[in-house]
Chains A and B, each alone.
Chain A
Amino acid sequence: NAGVTQTPKFQVLKTGQSMTLQCAQDMNHEYMSWYRQDPGMGLRLIHYSVGAGITDQGEVPNGYNVSRSTTEDFPLRLLSAAPSQTSVYFCASSSDRVSRYNSPLHFGNGTRLTVT
């Protein structure tokens, strides 16, 4: 099993450009989420999904869109990149849609994004 796979690993964008960060998991997990990791800020939840066709906002959703058309994929879209979106982005999944106790989060390796 590959687990949670994120692509690309690195990306440089210019302000105003758009792009999609890909996330796929092969564990048939219902729950998927996106976090951004910034120095001194820890991990902050951007968007999450408890199943195909269901998405919701996290703590810092502005500037990002998500969709969940299949159980396996949960792409994160930046419509118009800004320097403030320079960060490391982590996708995570869990088999338990209601509690991380029963099934902890499985993380991807991250995507390091720089917006100039």
Chain B
Amino acid sequence: AQRVTQPEKLLSVFKGAPVELKCNYSYSGSPELFWYVQYSRQRLQLLLRHISRESIKGFTADLNKGETSFHLKKPFAQEEDSAMYYCALSEQRNYGGSQGNLIFGKGTKLSVKP
């Protein structure tokens, strides 16, 4: 069964320190992976997706199929990065095409201290 695991509920770092939010997945096919972020009092929004290989707000994430991981990294954390981060995997079912429902991990709360 498809599953997304975020092992850390809370990650606390100091401003300027590197940060890595871990995400591991279990999926039998070719995964589509995403990171969503929820800042305080804001709605959940897409941060980045693996297929784009982009860097958003200094964050990057590389899909490692061998380790089935999609860790989110930033070399120098900022206070405004404090938020709840969710790793998500797009589900595919063969109903004549993929359904694409997202399966979310349990989330990691990142706290960046001054």
Contact = CB atoms under 8 A, between A and B. Distances in A.
Interface of A: 4, 31, 33, 35, 40-45, 48, 50, 58-59, 90, 92, 94, 96-101, 104-105, 107-110
Contacts of A40: 9, 106
Top 8 nearest A-B pairs (CB, nearest first) are A42-B106, A104-B46, A43-B104, A107-B44, A99-B100, A107-B43, A42-B104, A101-B32
Interface centre among B43, B88, B100, B104 (most CB of A within 10 A): B100
Contact of B101 (A4, A58, A90, A101): A58
Contacts of B46: 104-105
Interface residues of B, number: 25
B107 A50 contact: no
A100 B34 contact: yes
A33 B44 contact: no
B98 interface: yes
Contacts of A58: 101
Interface in B66-114: 86, 88, 90, 97-107
Given A100-B34, A101-B90, A44 B97 contact: no
Contacts of B97: 98
Nearest to B105: A42
